[in-house]
Structure 1
């Protein structure tokens, strides 16, 4: 369980760093979009955004971290080159291209963060379940086993005393028989 907790904290640190990076990237993307909106024609910006719409294709695989299944998201990079975005490079400004690139990079970070946060949640759940099991062992099973062991120990001691008593009685009977038989000889 210690290794699982160690892995949990390692992933938690990664999630924290990814969130900070995502916040920074979102601010940059939002800022670049606001600049593009302020300087460029809103119709051109909307036209470029409609041209670049595309589905997000992800392939989700799994792996085990110390027996805990976690997802691995296989993805293509979403940051596209100027010619791959689906709009004319002559019809839009560099500000729109920069905004598109920043939002594509943000999408990359969101997907990576989703993978690590899901891993963190699953490992956290496994740690909680393991703690419950350990608590059940410590609070219920182990005390019950100790009571049973004590009962067995008491029973064995009692039987030993009974056996010792019977042995003494048998010895006395044998001695009496010897005494009664020896005068006759």
Structure 2
């Protein structure tokens, strides 16, 4: 360390500035990490709730499908399914959470009941219930995908920020403070040497 550092006052001033900047950066990154963690757990709570709802809707969809098959017959249900030619359109946007880009998925409903080719007349209420239930299931699946992707991206950013915070706290700042300490000690030593030389000159 001694060989790489110039023990001068100007170098000490530069180091003090760098230490101050590093400490400010450390505080900002620490706040960012804490904020990201808070956002992560907030989304995690929503994901857990959505998974529970998703499970319930999935059970309800399966039940309504089986009921429709029992009442209308499997062939009628499959014929109705094949008559649907349009699919819902999905658009993916991005939103910013504390500097992290996360997806925001929008479902644009491509069909309503009278656009499903089979229409309300000619289909049983059991089939319409199946369609409604599975449409709701699709919406919850998309929402789940959106939130879980956001969680993964936040988790990656938290880990990256945590590494930066640790590097500043345990490596960068201590190293610079050690360098500053070395320069101060060297400057004091040089000052003592100069005083000693002055005393010798004075005696002579």
State the TM bucket, normalised to the shorter chain: 0.7 to 0.9
**Which structure has the higher relative contact order (CA within 8 Å, separation 6+)?**
2
Please name the residue that 2:20 is paired with: none
Q: Contact 2:89–2:109 (CA<8 Å) still a contact in 1?
A: no
How many Å apart are 1:155 and its aligned residue?
0.7
Q: CA RMSD in A?
A: 1.7
> Do the aligned partners of 1:77 and 1:108 also contact (CA within 8 Å) in 2?
no
Which residue in 2 is equivalent to 1:37? 69
1:15-26 to 2 correspondences below 5 Å: 15-26=47-58
**Larger Rg, first or second structure (1 or 2):** 1
Quickly say closer, same or farther: Cα 1:90–1:55, change in 2 above 3 A. Answer: closer
2:184 pairs with one of 141, 148, 153: 153
Number of the residue aligned with 1:162: 193
Kindly indicate whether residue 175 of structure 2 is the aligned counterpart of residue 144 of structure 1.
yes
- Give the Cα separation in 1 of the matches to 2:182 and 2:53: 61
What is the match of residue 177 of structure 1? none
TM-score relative to the length of structure 1:
0.85
Report the 3-state secondary structure (helix = DSSP H, G, I; strand = E; otherwise coil) of the residue aligned with 1:73: strand
Name structure 2 gaps, 5 residues minimum.
Answer: 1-32
Normalising by structure 2, report the TM-score.
Answer: 0.77
The offset of 1:85, in angstroms, is 2.1
Q: Distance in 2 between matches of 1:53 and 1:133?
A: 51
2:131 corresponds to 1:94: no
Shift of 1:142: 2.3
Given the alignment of the two structures, is residue 62 of structure 1 paired with residue 94 of structure 2, yes or no? yes
SS for the counterpart of 1:152 is: helix
Q: Which runs of 5+ in 1 are unaligned?
A: 174-185
SS in 2 for 1:62: strand
Does the 8 A contact of 1:63 with 1:71 survive in 2?
Answer: yes
Give 1:39 deviation, angstroms.
Answer: 2.2
Q: 1:128 and 1:77 mapped to 2: Cα distance?
A: 37
Is 1:75 matched up with 2:75? no
- Distance in 2, matches of 1:65 and 1:24, equals 30
